[in-house]
């Protein structure tokens, strides 16, 4: 599968000043900007910036950023699921994971994250993908936002809906380990029926395993 990436940009006016939303960007473009030191949700900022540059140059990898004139203050990533995750089991070329979305506290409440998701879906080629996001409450910034788990999830669902992702059932053990966790899914309009069926099998792998065991008895 040839992964075609088309660049889009949007100017967003915020109470803190204008923000540029743009991407997908290759690493050579990312390197032109500073990376805000507050972007530490997943690892130290400089390490995360290195990771984004690597993802940007994957054939399927997509990095979209929110920036001031010279500083990245937020981003969203898309790439194939990690080989260690259940979602990579069938090696589906048209299955992509929204791996991370992060915004510095200064711009929270300014709809920057939802705009990042909206701009990422402007590319018509995204209609060829099934896009997932695995949401675990222990990754949420509950302390700094002073939100309850359920209020945070409501905000998260609203934000993800801006990119067309909605909750979908699964029997993944980590996700069902807590009722606040969820699998978010967007199925592009050009995804073939065969891929949707394989993805449904992925969502309910344990059900498939249990059925196979019963039939083997």
| Closest by Cα among 61, 56, 60, 67 to 22 | 67
Confidence of residue 143 (pLDDT cuts 50, 70, 90): confident
What is the rounded end-to-end Cα distance, in angstroms, of the chain?
A: 40
- pLDDT higher than threshold 60 for residue 193: yes
Structure tokens given for 114: 């939802």
Rounded Cα–Cα distance for residues 138 and 118 (Å): 25
| Model confidence pLDDT, tens digit, residues 155-175 | 999 999 999 999 999 999 999
Rounded Cα–Cα distance for residues 131 and 49 (Å): 23
**pTM value?**
0.93
CATH topology of domain 8-216: Aminopeptidase (3.40.630)
Contact between 62 and 79 (Cβ < 8 Å):
yes
């Amino acid at each position: 599968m040839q992964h075609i990436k088309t660049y889009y940009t949007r100017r967003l006016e915020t109470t803190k000043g204008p923000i540029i939303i743009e991407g997908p960007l290759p690493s050579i473009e990312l390197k032109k900007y500073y990376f805000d030191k507050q972007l530490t949700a997943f690892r130290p900022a400089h390490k995360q910036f290195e990771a984004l540059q690597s993802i940007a140059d994957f054939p399927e990898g997509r990095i979209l950023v929110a920036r001031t004139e010279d500083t990245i203050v937020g981003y969203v990533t898309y790439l194939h699921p990690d080989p260690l995750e259940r979602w990579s089991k069938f090696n589906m070329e048209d299955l992509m994971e929204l791996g991370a979305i992060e915004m510095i506290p200064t711009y929270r409440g300014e709809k920057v994250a939802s705009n990042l998701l909206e701009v990422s879906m402007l590319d018509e080629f995204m209609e060829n993908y099934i896009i997932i996001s695995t949401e675990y409450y222990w990754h949420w910034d509950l302390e700094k936002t002073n939100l309850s788990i359920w209020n945070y999830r409501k905000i998260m669902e609203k934000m993800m809906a801006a990119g067309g992702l909605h909750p979908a059932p699964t029997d993944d053990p980590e996700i069902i380990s807590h009722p606040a966790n969820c699998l978010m899914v967007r199925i592009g309009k050009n995804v073939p029926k065969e891929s949707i069926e394989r993805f449904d099998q992925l969502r309910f792998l344990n059900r498939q395993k249990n059925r196979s065991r019963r039939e083997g008895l």
